[in-house]
Amino acid sequence: MGNMHRMILQKLNIAVMARVAIALFLATVLAQHVAVAAEKKVLKIAFRAAETGFDPQRIEDRYSVGICENFFDSLLTYDWLALPVKLVPQIVDKVPEGEEGGTRFTFHLKPGIFFADDPAFNGKRRELVAKDMEYAIKRFRDPVNRSPYSWLFEDKIVGFDEFVDAAKKNDKYDYDKPIEGIQVLDKYTISFKLRAPDYNFLYFFAMPIVVPVAREVIETYAADTMAHPVGTGPYILKEWVRRSKIVLERNPGYRGHVLNTQYANPDDPWDNDAVKALTGKRLPLIDRIEISPIEEEQPRFLAFMNREHDYIEETPFAFISQLLPLGKLAPAMLKRQVRVQRTEEPEITWDAFNMDDPIVGGYKPENVAFRRALILAHDRSQEVNIIRRGQASATMSPIPPGVVGYDPNFKAEDQEYNLPRAKALLDMFGYVDKDGDGWRDMPDGRPIILQFKYRANEQEGRQIAELWVKCMSAIGIRMTTVAVQFADLLKDRKVGKFQMSNLAWIADYPDGQNFLQLLYGPNTNISNDARFKLPEYDRLYSAALKLPDGPERSKLYREMNRLIVAYAPWRLGVNRTFSQFINPWVLGYKKHPILYTAFKYLDIDVPAQQASLEQ
C-alpha cells in the first residue's frame, strides 16, 4: 500500500495531488458526518464573531447572549412568528400589566419548571423559584460581576441603588439582604416596584441575560461561571473550546415547547414553512448544534459554499453579488435549492455632530442651518450603494423598522441629498469664502476645518470618512479625518472629544425609546454622544416614558423625530439588510428580529442532508 502510494504520488503533478488530498479529506469528514447524523439531528453553523462566555449577567456581545437564549429561559420572550414583535410569557403565567400607574410589575412563575441536572444540585432535581430571579437581578450590580448591563437596573427599582451604596460602604454585597422594590411574595411570585413609571421595563425580562440562575450553581463554579451555564432552557452546553467551538446538546430534562401559530402571517412563505414543519411537534427537534466562531469573512463564506454548514447568517456584503446578483439567487444557488431570507435588522447608523462644538454645535438658526447644509450635501446614496453594496436603505427617522414606534410614513426631506439646497443655505447664512482661499468660512470670518473621527483598521470606517470629505469639498468645506482605535473612539465620543463621527446602535429591546434615549439631554456622557440638549425634546421624552404603547405615545415619538430632523444633531445613516442563505434540508428556518438564534424552532431533514453531503 505504502509503495503504491509513493509510486502514484511520484507520477502525479502537484495539482492532482492536491485534489486527491482534498478528496480523501472530504471522504473522511463525510464518513464521520454521516455516522453521526444517522443517529441524531445535527446542525452546524458559524458565528461571525467569537463568544465571550455564558454567564448571562456578565456578558453583552450578541453572540454569547444569543447562545444563552438556548440555555436559559427568560420570564417573557417574543412570539416566534409575530411581526411586529410581540411579548409573550415564557415561564410565567402571563405578561403582567403595569400596576400603580406603571410602577409595579408582578410575575407569577409557572410551577414545575426544573433546572438542567448539574453536580451542583447534588443529584436532586432543582425547581425554578422566584428567588432565582431575585438573585439574578441582584447579580447585575454586584461589582464582582462587572456586568455591562448594570445600567438596566440603575435608578430604576425602589431601594436597589441604596442597597448597592450600602454594600459599597460595608464592602460586602449581601445577597440575603432584601431590597424594598424586589419582593418575593411566595415561592413562585416576584414583584418589582419602580421609582418612576416605565412601560419598557417588561422588555428587560425578554432579554436573554435577564434570566433566573441558581445560586448554588454560581457559587459552586464561582471561579468560572462563564463555562457553567445551568438553566431551564432546551439546550445544555456539551463542549466548549473557547473561541473555536461551541457544542450544544438537547437538555434531556427539558419540558418541551410548541410553536405558537396564532400570529403567523399567511402571506409569508417563511411563516408557512415554519408552520408546516413544526406544527404539532414537541420542540426542540435538533439534537446537537455545533457552532464555530469564524471571524474572517472568506472562510465563513466558503464553509457554507462547501456544505460544511447548514446555513449562513449575516452573509458578508462582499459576497452578496456572487450569491444574490441583482437581488436574485445565483443559478448555482438555485441548483442547490438554497433559499435566501433577507432581514432588516432593528438597528440604525448615523453620523453625530458634537452639539457642544463651536463650529458644528449650537441651537441658533445659523448653527442649525450649517448642520442642515452639511447633511443636504452628504450623498447618502453612495453610502448605500457603494459602501454598503446596496445591502442597506437610507433611514428616515432614528427608529428603525421592526421596532415599536417605527413610522413608515415618516419621510425627512431635509435628510435627502440636495446639493443646490445645501449651497443656497450656506450662502444665505453667510458661510461663504471670506479670506479667498477657496474654502468657505464662518459668518464671523473664522476658517472652517471640520474633523471627522472614524474607526481605524476598518475599510468601512475609512470609506465613510472618505465619502464625507468628498461631499464636503463639493460644497467648498474643508474636512480632515482622524482614524482612532475603536476603544479610544468609544471613549472620545463619551466625553465629547470629537466634532463628527459615525455610530451605530442595535436594539436592546424593540421599542423606539431605546433609540430616542440616544438624544435625551440627561443621557449626555452615558449614551447621548451628540450631547444634544433640547428642553422640548427632553420634555417629550419624559412624557413618552410614562405612557404605554399606543397612538398617544406614537404622536410624541413623531414629535421627537421632527425635532431631530429640524435641529439636526444627527445625519441619519442606513438600516442594513442582512441575507441569510439556508440549505434546503433546514426546515422551519426564520430569522427573528430580536432573538439571535433559531435552534429552538428548527428541524432538519436528515436524509436530504446526508444525500447532499454524499454528492
Partner 1 sequence: MSAAFMNTPSTAPAAPLHQPSPGLWMLAWRRLKHDKVGMVSLAVVIIFLLMMVGSYTGLIAKNWSKEAGVSYANPSFMAGAENLEAVRTKADPNAIKIEPVDLSDIDPLAPRYKEWAERTAKIKTTETPRAETLPFGGDKWGRDVLQKAIKGAETSIFVGLFAALFAVFIGTTLGAISGYMGGKIGDLLEWFYNVFTSIPYILLILAFAAVFASSPQLAAYKGVPMVVAILAFTGWTGIYRLIRSEYIKHASREYVKAAQAIGASNSRRMFVHILPNVSHVCLVQLSQHVVQFIKAEVILSYLGLGVPVDSVSWGTMLAEAQSELVIGKWWQLAAAGISMAILVTAFSMLTDSLRDALDPKIK
Residues that bind partner 1 (CB under 8 A): 298, 318-319, 321-322, 325-326, 363-365, 368-369, 372, 381-382, 385-386, 389-390, 393, 408-414, 418-421, 423-425, 427-428, 456-459, 462-463, 465-466, 469-470, 473, 479-484, 536, 561-563, 565-567
Q: How many CB atoms sit inside 10 A of residue 411's CB? A: 11
Which is nearer to partner 1, 70 or 395 (by Cβ)?
395
3-state SS class at 60: coil
Decide if 247 contacts 240 (C-beta within 8 A): yes
Minimum distance, C-beta of residue 392 to partner 1, in the bound complex (Å): 12
From the number of C-beta atoms within 10 Å of its C-beta (0-12, 13-18, 19+), residue 543 rates as: middle
Q: How far is the CB of 263 from partner 1 (least distance, A)?
A: 25
* DSSP code for 358: T
Q: How far is CA 431 from CA 373, 427, 471, in A?
A: 10, 6, 16
Instruction: Rank residues 271 and 383 by Cβ distance to partner 1 and give the closer one.
Output: 383
Cα separation of 380 and 467, whole Å? 9
Shortest reach from residue 468's CB to partner 1, in Å: 9
- Give the nearer residue to partner 1 in terms of CB position, either 121 or 410: 410
Specify the residue, 217 or 540, whose C-beta has the smaller distance to partner 1: 540
Nearer to partner 1, 94 or 411 (CB): 411
CB of 552 to partner 1, least distance (A): 19
For residue 501, what are the CA distances in angstroms to 166, 481, 497, 591? 39, 10, 10, 31
Nearest to 371 by CA among 415, 410, 413, 411: 415
Which C-beta is closer to partner 1: that of 265 or that of 381? 381
Locus of grid cell 448605500: 384
Contacts of 541 (CB under 8 A, 6+ apart): 513, 516, 517, 520, 560
Task: Kindly state the smallest distance separating residue 493's Cβ from partner 1, in Å.
Answer: 16
Minimum CB distance to partner 1 smaller for 415 or for 597: 415
Residue 351 Cβ, how far from partner 1 at the closest point, in Å? 14
Q: How far is the CB of 422 from partner 1 (least distance, A)?
A: 9
Q: How far is the CB of 265 from partner 1 (least distance, A)?
A: 20
Nearer CB in complex with partner 1: 293/390: 390
**Of the candidates 129, 36, 84, the residue with the CA atom closest to the CA atom of residue 406:** 84
Q: Which is nearer to partner 1, 165 or 458 (CB)?
A: 458
- Nearest distance from C-beta of residue 372 to partner 1, angstroms: 7
Q: Output 262 or 298, the one with its CB closest to partner 1.
A: 298
Q: Which residue has the cell 425580562?
A: 205
225 vs 415, which CB is nearer to partner 1? 415
Is residue 246 helix, strand or coil? strand
Judge contact between 597 and 70, C-beta under 8 A.
yes
CB contact at 8 A, 479 and 374: no
Whether the bond into 365 is cis, omega within 30 of 0: no
Least distance from partner 1 to the Cβ atom of residue 480, Å: 7
Whichever of 478 and 546 has its CB closer to partner 1, that residue is 478
DSSP codes, 66-107? HHHHHH---SEEE-SS-SS--EEESSBSSPPPPBTTTTEEEE
* Min CB(542)–partner 1 separation in Å: 18
Compute the distance between CA of residue 221 and CA of residue 53 in angstroms, rounded to an integer. 13
In the structure grid, which three cell numbers stand for residue 444, read together? Answer: 464671523
C-alpha dist (Å) from residue 298 to 303, 307, 317, 464, 577: 9, 14, 11, 22, 19
CB atoms inside a 10 Å sphere around CB 29: 13
Peptide bond preceding 299 in cis form (omega within 30 of 0): no
* Cβ closest to partner 1, residue 106 vs residue 393: 393
Nearest distance from C-beta of residue 107 to partner 1, angstroms: 40
Distance CA 404, CA 512 (A): 6
Using alpha carbons only, what angle is made at residue 309 by residues 323 and 65, rounded to the nearest 5 degrees? Answer: 100
Please state the closest distance from residue 323 (CB atom) to partner 1, in A.
Answer: 11
Q: Which of 210, 540 has the CB closer to partner 1?
A: 540
Least distance from partner 1 to the Cβ atom of residue 218, Å: 40
Q: Which of 307, 115, 291 is nearest to 216 (CA)?
A: 115
Q: What is the DSSP pairing of strand 586-587 with strand 570-572?
A: unpaired
